[in-house]
């Protein structure tokens, strides 16, 4: 298990370095600059501002200075939010994004997992077809389309829930954004759980358990679910990545004070340090979550551990 963990970590660190380097040069390659809107400034003043942020130096020198700061945990000052550093902005918005993402994945696991189990146990019934039809609909419609529809129906037409704001994480303010984030993952998890359940239910050891007279409930809980959950565990890393990246747009739609709103505003205003800082934070989280999912999968499936010996 230790060798497997070290191998996965050896892949994760170069991946993070490549993402950080690519984000730096791609941001610089985008047309425009952070101070293009300051058209009324004298050229000398504008040049002094660029020098204050090291933007007058050669590109490779800028990269060296930026990478050295990142290795020390310093992402630099924000070019748009003048009184804040990137680290301070991330510290303000990250708890909101994490709370939103964790709530969404818990909802997706609970609703999607339960739906997949029911569909598998009622295979080829009306219940099965209905759940799978809803799952396909959830997969086909992205969250940035679902979010405005939810806000329109439940916020404006029915006036049941607020359509914007955070209010300290009140449950009423979380219902719509969490639902919009969770729905696509609910659909995928339901299909994965159904497929895994059906495969295991046809296995010889399940037939043997039934022949011994074990109850269906005990067979499902003790023998079927642990094995059927293996594909689901392998999907948790990408699912969390999808929720975290999807929250960038959802936070902007519902006006939530998360990292996503800062990221979008920073991208629009060419705030280089802010965008690159958020990219690195999100990339680190996604890599760590995928690593944890791989380790959990290796713990559940001995065949994976043996393949890395």
Mean pLDDT over the full length of the chain: 81
Q: Look at residue 302 in the predicted model and tell me its pLDDT.
A: 62
In a domain, 65, yes or no: no
- Check the CA dihedral 40-46-52-56 and report its sign: positive
pLDDT digits (tens, 9 = 90+) for 14-47: 888 888 888 888 888 777 667 666 556 677 767 7
Q: What is the pLDDT of residue 304?
A: 59
Residue 288: pLDDT band with limits 50, 70, 90 = confident
Q: Give the separation between CA 156 and CA 149, rounded to whole angstroms.
A: 10
**What's the whole-number mean pLDDT along residues 290-302?**
72
- The pLDDT-based confidence of 305 (bands split at 50, 70, 90) is low
| 106, part of any domain | yes
How far is residue 251's CA from residue 136's CA, in Å, rounded to a whole number? 25
Task: Give the burial class of 248: count Cβ atoms within 10 A of its Cβ; 0-12 exposed, 13-18 middle, 19 or more buried.
Answer: buried
Question: Residue 301 has what pLDDT?
Answer: 64
* Structural domain count, the chain: 1
Residue 212 in domain: yes
- The pLDDT of residue 308 is 53
- The answer to whether position 147 is within a domain reads yes
Please state the φ and ψ torsions of residue 123, each to the nearest 5 degrees: -55, 140
CATH number at residue 233: 1.10.3720.10
Average pLDDT over residues 36-63: 74
Mean pLDDT value of segment 290-303: 71
The domain containing residue 231 runs over which residues? 89-270
Do 111 and 182 contact (CB within 8 A), yes or no? Answer: yes
278 domain residue, yes or no: no
Residue 165 domain flag: yes
- pLDDT for the residue numbered 303: 61
In a domain, 203, yes or no: yes
Lowest mean pLDDT among 22-31, 99-108, 205-214, 291-300: 291-300
User: pLDDT tens, 149-169?
Assistant: 999 999 888 888 888 888 888
Please compute the mean of the pLDDT values over residues 117-136 and round it to a whole number: 86
């Amino acid at each position: 298990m230790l060798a497997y963990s070290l191998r996965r970590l050896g892949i994760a660190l170069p991946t993070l370095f490549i993402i950080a380097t690519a984000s730096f040069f791609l941001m610089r390659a985008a047309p425009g600059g952070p101070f293009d809107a300051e058209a009324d400034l004298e050229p000398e003043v504008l040049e002094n501002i660029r020098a204050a942020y090291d933007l007058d130096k050669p590109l490779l020198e800028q990269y060296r200075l930026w990478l050295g700061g990142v290795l020390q945990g310093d992402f630099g000052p924000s070019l748009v939010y003048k009184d804040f550093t990137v680290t301070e902005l991330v510290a303000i918005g990250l708890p909101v994004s994490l709370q939103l993402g964790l709530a969404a994945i818990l909802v997706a696991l609970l609703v999607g997992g339960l739906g997949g189990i029911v569909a598998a146990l009622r295979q080829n019934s009306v219940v099965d077809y209905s759940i799978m039809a809803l799952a396909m609909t959830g997969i086909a419609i992205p969250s940035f389309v679902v979010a405005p529809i939810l806000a329109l129906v439940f916020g404006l037409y029915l006036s049941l829930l607020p359509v914007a704001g955070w209010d300290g994480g009140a449950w009423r303010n979380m219902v719509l954004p969490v639902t919009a984030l969770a729905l696509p993952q609910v659909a995928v998890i339901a299909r994965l759980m159904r497929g895994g359940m059906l495969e295991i239910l046809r296995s010889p050891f399940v037939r043997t358990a039934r022949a011994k007279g074990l109850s269906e409930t005990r067979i499902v809980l003790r023998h079927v679910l642990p094995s059927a959950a293996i594909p689901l565990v392998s999907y948790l890393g990408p699912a969390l990545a999808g929720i975290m990246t999807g929250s960038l747009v959802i936070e902007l739609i519902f006006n939530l004070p998360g990292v996503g709103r800062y990221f979008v505003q920073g991208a629009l205003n060419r705030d280089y340090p802010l965008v690159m800082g958020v990219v690195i934070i999100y990339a680190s989280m996604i890599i760590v979550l995928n690593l944890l999912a791989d380790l959990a999968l290796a713990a559940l499936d001995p065949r994976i551990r043996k393949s890395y010996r």
